[in-house]
A and B are shown apart, each in its own frame.
Chain A
Amino acid sequence: MSLRSQLLKGILEGCILSIIDKETVYGYELSQKLQLFGLNDVSEGSIYPILLRLQKEGLIKGEMRASPSGPKRKYYQLTNDGEKALLEIQEEWRNIQKPVDKLLNRGMLDEC
């Protein structure tokens, strides 16, 4: 796996938890939301292995139930552990966001 996709995968987990925290969603809806936030580079299919892993780790749980439009869909919601994990990820992200941004974009700033 390329470095880039590994990097993205870890971050994507946090993003998915964050979306599910706001509302229960089903798979396709989740991929649309990610795109809506501008993560267009994420291939749509990559959410399913992540959803399975999050379920395995007990951070989210899926439940088949009828959707407003009729057909049954698998909706995901955060578990208590999931909420805790999301808080941790948010905290960690806040800690590294600024320094990483500074480091990685140093070249650009120097040019200015």
Chain B
Amino acid sequence: MNAKALIQLNNKKRKVLIKENEEYYDKMLVYIRTSIVISEQQSEELLMELLDHIIHAQHEGKSAEDVFGNNPSAYCDEMIKQLPKESWKSGAFFIGFLLLKLAALIAIINGIGSIITLYFKDSNQTVYIGTVFVTFLITCVIIFLFVFLTFKWLQQSVYKVSNKVRDFLFIFFMAAITLLSMIFLARMVPPFGYAIEAGGYVYLILGLATMIITKWLNGKYQLTK
């Protein structure tokens, strides 16, 4: 049973929990799932065991708190510490897949954008390989940082009393800084590397080709299904 099937089964099984147990379990679930470095397969198997245990206990009139104690964050930390890390290979493969998808998307948007602009004015269509590469790299690092920090923040906030104003400000600043740095850093990269007179169509074709490759990869290795 792979991680995706376990997640689906988990979603189904969770429905039998009474409100009190559901709240307790949901927090554990978010806390463990937001630990991104641990093996997804192993953490889903653990989550399924914990859920089964709560369901059994519920039948006997015991609550999740009776079973797992009144300090769930310490309890989860203890388990997270013991869980195996995601293998370097499968992590790199997955991130590589996402980056490829991102590159395809950027190329398609860029392609359509420059085709449309060309209808209205004669714009410079020269592309510098070096610049494109560095800009893409910077964008990737920023997105990676954004995702990583968001997960950390989510995990931190599970067992804290939520504060709507603080949460809003955090999300707002994170998103603003990410967007602004993506726009400005990319523009600061000077043109260098091999220059090609690539029109919007070249972008579009390359982007679409990459998109098809990622679809094929996903179908073959079931990366997101």
**Option from A53, A56, A74 in Cβ contact (under 8 Å) with B49:** A74
From A27, A49, A55, B53 is in contact (CB under 8 Å) with A27
**What is the interface of chain B, defined by CB distance below 8 A to chain A?**
1, 9, 45-46, 48-50, 52-53, 56-57, 66-69, 75, 78-79, 82-84
A49 touches B82 (CB 8 A): yes
Seen from chain A, the residues whose Cβ lies within 8 Å of a Cβ on chain B are 26-28, 31, 43-45, 48-49, 52-53, 55-56, 62, 64, 71-74
Bound CA span A26–B67, Å: 16
Interface majority SS (helix, strand, loop, mixed), chain A? helix
B72 closest partner in A (C-beta): A45
Query: Complex Cα distance A29/B92, Å?
Result: 38
Given contacts A43-B69, A48-B46, A49-B78, 19 further A-B contacts (CB under 8 A): A26-B49, A26-B52, A27-B52, A28-B49, A28-B52, A28-B53, A31-B53, A43-B67, A45-B67, A45-B68, A49-B82, A52-B79, A56-B82, A56-B84, A64-B1, A72-B9, A73-B49, A74-B48, A74-B49
Chain A residues within 8 Å of B9, by CB: 72
Q: With the chains together, A18 CA to B64 CA distance in Å?
A: 27
| Residues of chain B lying within 8 A (CB to CB) of residue A48 | 46, 49-50, 79
